[in-house]
Structure 1
Amino acid sequence: MVTYIYEGDIFSLEGVSNFAHGCNCAGAMGKGIALQFKTKYPKMYKEYKALCQEGLFLLGDVFIYKYETGTIFNLGTQATWRTKADLNSIETALEKMLSYSNLNKINKIALPKIGAGLGGLDWHNVKRIIENLSENYPQIDLLIVENYKSK
């Protein structure tokens, strides 16, 4: 099920310890929510950057990072920070994330409007993909914060 939250901070949602966000495949997390992930989870960033430098994180891939209390899904949605996000890559990465979550009994994931902020895509197109995919995983709650606002 998909729940849209008009504004907020994915990291401050009650009862949520699993997060997802769109990433580029060049190893940069310098703006937007990616920068927040880099700051909050520096070990994750180091691993992500190394994967990118080795050419092991590509469009449509998911880098799964487990931390003390949850899981972070880094979704390969942009080739570089200079390029737009790619709808097919978003769909592929989300399917991989949902499949993994289903197998590993992860039932709640918070994420921003992937691909529609710095990724430059039309949110309605991305939203359609998310809603279509989530129908196959009704046991997984996706909490999507549409506009960032710190508490």
Structure 2
Amino acid sequence: MARMPTMFVKGDMFATPEIKAFAHGVNCAGRMEAGIAVAFKKRWPAMFEAYAKKCEEGTLQPGDVFVWKEGDQVVFNLAIAQEETAKPKLNALVTALGKTIELAKADGIEKIAMPRLGAAKAKSGLDWTRVRKVITETAEIAPVTLMVFEQFVRQPAGE
């Protein structure tokens, strides 16, 4: 099995043309009201509706991955927190990230773009240094490149 690197970059993952697979952390309460989750909700409204329904039914639990396919794009929703305001759990992130890589591998996906998972809010988020290490170690044994957008940089119009 080929090992793939983790890439830590700056930029706008939604404006990076070669990227067709995305991942982000979600809660199990069915809410996407802050941070990059809002961008996912606006970009894939039908995904949000299906995700909210799974949460309402109680079928999405920490450590699970809800996969959404739309056109040629795939979104991996990694359940890393129980409630919207709850601190994400590192073990849920590790489990969900592992599942994401297995699902991507089975689907022939070679690259997944993601924001800083679980580290959105300084006080309620996970320690980014620990998360970064988990992502890097996971990718070292994965056949999928994880492209982590550590800092959002909007591309100028027309590019």
Same-fold call, TM cutoff 0.5: yes
Question: Post-superposition shift, 1:8?
Answer: 1.5
SS in structure 2 at match of 1:26: coil
d(CA) in 2 for partners of 1:30 and 1:140?
A: 29
Matched residue, 1:45: 48
Q: 1:10 aligns with which of 5, 8, 13?
A: 13
SS in structure 1 at match of 2:86: coil
TM-score, structure 2 normalization: 0.90
SS in structure 1 at match of 2:95: helix
Give the aligned residue type for 1:3.
M
Equivalent residue runs for 1:1-150 within 5 Å: 1-5=5-9, 7-118=10-121, 120-137=125-142, 139-150=143-154
Question: Post-superposition shift, 1:128?
Answer: 1.0
Say what the alpha-carbon RMSD is for the aligned residues.
1.0
Per-residue displacement from partner, 1:13-46 (whole Å, max 9, x unpaired)? 1300100000011000001111100001000000
Structure 2 regions of 5+ residues with no counterpart?
A: none
Give the aligned residue type for 1:36.
A
d(CA) in 1 for partners of 2:62 and 2:154?
A: 30
d(CA) in 1 for partners of 2:125 and 2:146?
A: 21
Question: Post-superposition shift, 1:150?
Answer: 2.2
d(CA) in 2 for partners of 1:141 and 1:10?
A: 14
Residues paired across the two proteins, number: 149
Q: Percent identity?
A: 36
Per-residue displacement from partner, 1:79-113 (whole Å, max 9, x unpaired)? 11211111000000000000111111110110000
Give the aligned residue type for 1:112.
P
Question: Post-superposition shift, 1:69?
Answer: 1.0
Structure 1 regions of 5+ residues with no counterpart?
A: none
d(CA) in 2 for partners of 1:13 and 1:115?
A: 22
After TM superposition, what 4+ stretches of structure 1 lie above 4 angstroms from structure 2? none
Moved more, 44-53 or 110-119: 110-119
Larger Rg: 2
2:6 and 2:140 in contact (8 A); partners too: no
d(CA) in 2 for partners of 1:108 and 1:76?
A: 20
